[in-house]
C-alpha cells in the first residue's frame, strides 16, 4: 500500500522523493509506504490553499452549495464505512467496532457543519437614530490542522468540517504513525466536488512538516491536538506570525463515583472511559475517585471486566487492541513500575499479555492500580494507555479537591443518584466538559470540547467551534 500527498487536487510524491513507513501495531508488519512532506511541500500546500481561498473557489460560492458538497462528503464516508474502518483499524490498532464508530462520527461532523454553512450570521447593534451598525462573520483564511494518531479520521473531520463550513481553505497534516484515513478523506472530498486546493493533505514528520506548517507565515489559523510539550512549541511558532491557535493537549480526567450510584452502570462507564482505544485518548477517564465505602464493590466489578476483556488485533474486533508503538508500550510499562514503586497495588493486568500469538504486536493488559494517592505520578501524569489510577475519598469536598489536583482539566464524570450532589460537584470542578451518570456522548459532535489549564484553549465541536474559523468585521453606517 502506498500513500501520496494531496496538493491542489493532485496526488503527488514528496519534492525530494522521500517516504516513510507505516506499521500495523497489531502485528508490527509494514502497512504502507507514504510520501514524506518536506518544507518545500508545506510551502506549496499553503500557497495553493492561499490561492484557492483568495480565488473564491470555495468562500465565494453560495453557502448552501458549500453545505451540499459537505453533505455529499458525509454520505460518502458512510457509504465507505467498512473500507475506512478496516484501514483505520490496521493503521492504529483500534478494534473494528470502534473504528466504525469513528467513521460514523466523522460523517456526522460533515453533516452537522453542512447544515450550518448557510447560517453563519452576524448581528445588528443599535446605536440610535441615524446609524446602522452590523457585524459580518468572514472565513479566517488558510486553516492549518495538525492531527494525532489516536483518532485520525475523527479528529481530522472535527477540525476540517467547521473550517470548510466557514469558507476556509485547509492544510491537514496527519501523524506519520497513522496517516492513511486522512489521505482517504482528502480523496473522498475531491471526488465529492470540493474544489482543488481547498483541502490539502500533507503527511510527514512533526520535526519537519509539522514545524514548517506551524511556523508558516501564510497560514491564518492553526488547530493542534497533541502533548503539552509539543503544544507549547507549536504555540510559540504560531505566535511568531501572530497566528491564533486552538489547542487540545490532553488530560488526566477523573470519574467520581459515590456510594449511592448505580455501581453496575458506573463500572461500565468507568471501564469504557479508560479502556476504549487502549486508553490512548486525551479525554480518557484515567483517574477513578471512588467513595471509600463503595471501593470494594466497584473495584470488584472493574477487575472482573478487565480480566474478561479480550485483547487482540484490531481487525479481529477484540475488546481492546494494541498500543500504537513499541516506544509507547514501553512508556506504559515504566509508569506501572513507577506506580508500584510509589506504593500502588496492581488489582488487574499490569503487564503484556502472555498469549504468544500476540508477540509481534504492542499489547498491554487492561490495568487497575489501587492504593493510589493523589500526589503519585500515576495520578498526575498522562500515561496514554489502559491504566486506571484508583483513589479513595470520603466527602464531596475531598472529591472536588482531588479532582482539581491536576494540571489538566478536559473532562470529568460524576456518578450518583443525588442530583443536588452532582450539580454541586459539577460547579466545583475545573473542566471543559462534565458528564453526570454517563461519560461521553457518542462522539459529542454537538458539544463544545476543550480544556481548562494545561488541557489547552479554544473549543472544538458544536457551534462554538466556528469562532475559531471566522473573524468578525463591524460595519457602521451614518445616514
Of the CA atoms within 13 Å of residue 183, those in its CB half-sphere come to 28
Spot the catalytic one: 111, 168, 282, 460: 282
Q: What is d(CA 193, CA 184) in angstroms, rounded to the nearest whole number?
A: 15
CB 380 within 8 A of CB 369: no
152 φ, ψ (degrees, to nearest 5): -60, -50
Q: What is d(CA 333, CA 350) in angstroms, rounded to the nearest whole number?
A: 8
- Which residues contact residue 206 at a Cβ distance below 8 angstroms, ignoring those fewer than 6 apart? 146, 175, 176, 230
N-term to C-term CA, the chain:
65
Q: What is d(CA 36, CA 20) in angstroms, rounded to the nearest whole number?
A: 6
Cα 364 to the center of its chain, rounded Å: 22
DSSP state of 33: E
The answer to whether 291 is a known catalytic residue is no
Which is nearest to 36 in space by CA: 212, 155, 156?
A: 212
DSSP state of 5: E
The answer to whether 282 is a known catalytic residue is yes
Spot the catalytic one: 88, 248, 370, 460: 248
Residue whose entry in the numeric block shows the C-alpha cell 501524569: 381
The catalytic site residues sit at 248, 282
Amino acid at each position: 500500500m502506498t500513500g501520496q500527498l494531496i496538493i491542489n487536487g493532485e496526488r503527488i510524491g514528496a519534492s525530494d522523493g522521500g517516504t516513510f513507513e507505516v506499521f500495523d501495531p497489531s502485528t508490527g508488519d509494514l502497512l504502507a509506504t507514504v510520501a514524506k512532506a518536506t518544507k518545500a511541500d508545506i510551502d506549496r500546500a499553503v500557497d495553493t490553499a492561499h490561492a484557492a481561498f483568495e480565488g473564491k473557489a470555495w468562500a465565494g460560492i453560495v453557502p448552501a452549495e458549500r453545505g451540499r458538497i459537505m453533505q455529499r462528503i458525509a454520505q460518502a464516508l458512510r457509504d465507505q464505512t467498512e473500507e475506512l474502518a478496516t484501514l483505520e483499524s490496521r493503521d492504529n490498532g483500534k478494534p473494528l467496532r470502534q473504528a466504525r464508530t469513528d467513521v460514523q462520527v466523522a460523517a456526522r461532523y460533515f453533516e452537522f457543519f453542512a447544515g450550518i454553512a448557510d447560517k453563519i450570521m452576524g448581528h445588528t447593534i443599535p446605536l440610535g437614530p441615524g446609524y446602522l451598525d452590523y457585524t459580518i462573520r468572514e472565513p479566517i483564511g488558510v486553516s492549518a490542522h495538525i492531527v494525532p494518531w489516536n483518532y485520525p479520521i475523527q479528529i481530522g473531520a472535527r477540525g476540517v468540517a467547521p473550517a470548510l463550513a466557514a469558507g476556509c481553505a485547509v492544510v491537514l497534516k496527519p501523524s506519520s504513525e497513522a496517516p492513511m484515513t486522512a489521505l482517504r478523506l482528502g480523496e473522498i472530498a475531491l471526488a465529492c466536488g470540493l474544489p482543488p486546493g481547498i483541502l490539502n493533505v500533507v503527511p510527514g514528520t512533526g520535526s519537519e512538516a509539522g514545524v514548517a506548517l506551524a511556523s508558516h507565515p501564510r497560514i491564518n489559523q492553526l488547530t493542534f491536538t497533541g502533548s503539552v510539550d509539543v503544544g507549547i512549541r507549536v504555540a510559540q511558532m504560531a505566535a511568531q506570525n501572530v497566528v491564533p491557535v486552538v489547542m487540545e493537549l490532553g488530560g488526566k480526567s477523573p470519574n467520581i463515583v459515590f456510594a449511592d450510584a448505580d455501581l453496575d452502570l458506573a463500572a461500565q462507564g468507568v471501564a469504557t472511559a479508560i479502556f476504549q482505544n487502549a486508553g490512548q485518548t486525551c479525554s480518557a477517564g484515567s483517574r477513578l475517585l471512588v467513595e471509600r465505602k463503595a471501593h470494594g464493590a466497584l473495584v470488584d466489578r472493574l477487575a472482573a471486566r478487565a480480566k474478561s476483556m479480550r485483547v487482540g488485533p484490531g481487525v479481529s474486533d477484540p475488546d481492546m487492541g494494541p498500543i500504537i508503538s513499541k516506544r509507547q508500550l514501553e512508556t506504559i510499562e515504566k509508569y506501572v513500575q513507577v506506580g508500584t514503586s510509589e506504593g500502588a497495588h496492581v488489582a488487574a493486568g499490569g503487564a503484556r499479555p502472555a498469549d504468544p500469538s500476540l508477540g509481534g504486536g504492542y499489547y498491554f493488559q487492561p490495568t487497575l492500580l489501587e492504593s493510589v494517592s493523589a500526589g503519585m505520578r500515576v495520578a498526575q501524569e498522562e500515561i496514554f494507555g489502559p491504566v486506571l489510577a484508583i483513589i479513595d475519598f470520603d466527602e464531596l469536598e475531598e472529591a472536588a479537591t482531588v479532582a482539581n489536583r491536576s494540571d489538566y482539566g478536559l473532562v470529568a464524570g460524576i456518578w450518583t443518584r443525588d442530583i443536588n450532589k452532582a450539580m454541586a460537584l459539577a460547579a466545583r470542578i475545573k473542566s471543559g466538559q462534565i458528564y453526570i451518570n454517563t461519560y461521553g456522548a457518542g462522539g459529542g459532535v454537538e458539544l463544545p470540547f476543550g480544556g481548562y489549564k494545561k488541557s489547552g484553549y479554544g473549543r472544538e465541536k458544536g457551534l462554538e467551534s466556528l469562532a475559531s474559523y471566522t473573524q468578525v468585521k463591524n460595519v457602521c453606517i451614518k445616514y
